[in-house]
Amino acid sequence: MPTLFDTNKAGDLALANRIVMAPLTRNRSPNAIPTDIAQIYYGQRASAGLLITEATAVSHQGQGYADVPGLYGSEQLDGWKKVTHAVHEKGGKIVVQLWHVGRVSHTRLQPDGGKPVAPSAITAKTKTVLIEDGVPTFVETSEPRALTSEEIPGIVHTFAAAARNAVETAGFDGVEIHGANGYLLDQFLKNGSNQRIDDYGGSIQNRARLLLEITRAVTDAVGGGRTGIRLSPVTPANDMHDTDPQPLFEYVIKQLATLNLAYVHIIEGATGGPREIDDRPFDYAALKAAYRKAGGKGAWMVNNGYDQALAEKAVADGADLVAFGKPYIANPDLVERLRVSAPLNIPDKATFYGGREKGYTDYPALSN
């Protein structure tokens, strides 16, 4: 019987167990540069089978929150190099999440104070975080402008360049394409946010085109065996909706099956919230079956609200990897705690976003 503690493979990556640290935004990278304490934070968590970094902007335009890191400047890459080194020294594996927020941004975070970009000029009813005088402040996102068709190849190129920077320069074991949670690629996928009339809007095939072009470009840059992707079929996060998500995501997953990805990472339900949403049913087993039937061999990673019992059940039912979010904020040694069924530290919401060591690198491991 498979367990959470089995070694496992995700594409080219040999993993020590099936426990994954989910991407978690922490807003502790002023000027988009990971600091000295990021090395400690990720290093403390290196016993996970795989660490996925916090979402990391592929370009300045792709940034939507204060003090989130990037992958497009040399100082940013130098900061990340120290992080990957710290994790590798402890025998861990780490991939970076490639992020373009699209419309979930604010003019104050954009190059030259411009409008955020989106598939269509539809403002998301959601908030972002600015940091003013060191204090995180939630503000409404700004009205976006629709990307022109001519701008789209540049977006694809930006993802591929960030992936190359990540693996070749910063020393990451791979990358995860952020296709979830109402950010740019999810905005293109879903018809609540995409009303384009060009090749990138309308039909399912058209709405999936950008995500698939980017995934192909990233696999060309760093190899499918080093590329994962995160999807959230029904999350309402960031004002998202689609009138018919099942066929949309089954189309996407069948296309992804041909790209030899390391893994597919699925958020079940509402990100960070309920796993079941009454008016948004979704058949995840059918999604996985469609992927396997189409020849997809990547590891199947599940996420959202897992505790030990639910994770063990998921693995027994055939999930390859389970990603834990909030438990990883407060439990650097989550693998060991699950192994011995030790109680978990409780994360402190007040220190999730912004600040320094407090609530970041000071959660105790069991032996402390």
Site string for ligand PHB, 248-287 (x = CB under 6 A): -----------------------x----------------
Least separation in angstroms between residue 245's CB and ligand PHB is 17
Measuring CA to CA, which residue among 324, 321, 320 is closest to residue 307?
Answer: 324
Chain centroid, CA 212 distance in Å:
16
Residue 25 engages ligand PHB in binding (rule: CB under 6 A): yes
Least separation in angstroms between residue 6's CB and ligand PHB is 27
Q: Which of 42, 183, 263, 360 is catalytic?
A: 183
- Dist CA 97 CA 179 (whole Å): 10
Select from 33, 38, 52, 55 the one that contacts ligand PHB (CB under 6 A).
55
Site for ligand PHB, residues 160 to 199, rule: CB under 6 A: 180-181
Residue 10 engages ligand PHB in binding (rule: CB under 6 A): no
> ∠345-351-355 over CA atoms, to 5°?
135
Least separation in angstroms between residue 315's CB and ligand PHB is 23
Least separation in angstroms between residue 68's CB and ligand PHB is 7
Least separation in angstroms between residue 289's CB and ligand PHB is 26
Residue 65 engages ligand PHB in binding (rule: CB under 6 A): yes
The answer to whether 183 is a known catalytic residue is yes
Residue 95 engages ligand PHB in binding (rule: CB under 6 A): no
- Dist CA 361 CA 171 (whole Å): 22
Helix (H, G, I), strand (E, B) or coil at 236: coil
- Dist CA 127 CA 106 (whole Å): 9
Amino acid, res. 75 = E
- C-beta of 42 vs 315, nearer to ligand PHB: 42
Tally of CB atoms within 10 A around 113: 10
Measuring CA to CA, which residue among 304, 301, 323 is closest to residue 9?
Answer: 301
194: tokens are: 């995409």
Residue 306 engages ligand PHB in binding (rule: CB under 6 A): no
157: exposed, middle or buried (C-beta count within 10 Å: 0-12, 13-18, 19+)? middle
Measuring CA to CA, which residue among 98, 99, 144 is closest to residue 117?
Answer: 144
- C-beta of 31 vs 258, nearer to ligand PHB: 31
- C-beta of 178 vs 337, nearer to ligand PHB: 178
* Cβ contact 225:12 at 8 Å: yes
- C-beta of 68 vs 248, nearer to ligand PHB: 68
| Residue number closest to ligand PHB, CB atom | 25
**Contact positions vs ligand PHB (CB under 6 A):** 25, 55, 65, 180-181, 271
Residues serving a catalytic function are 183
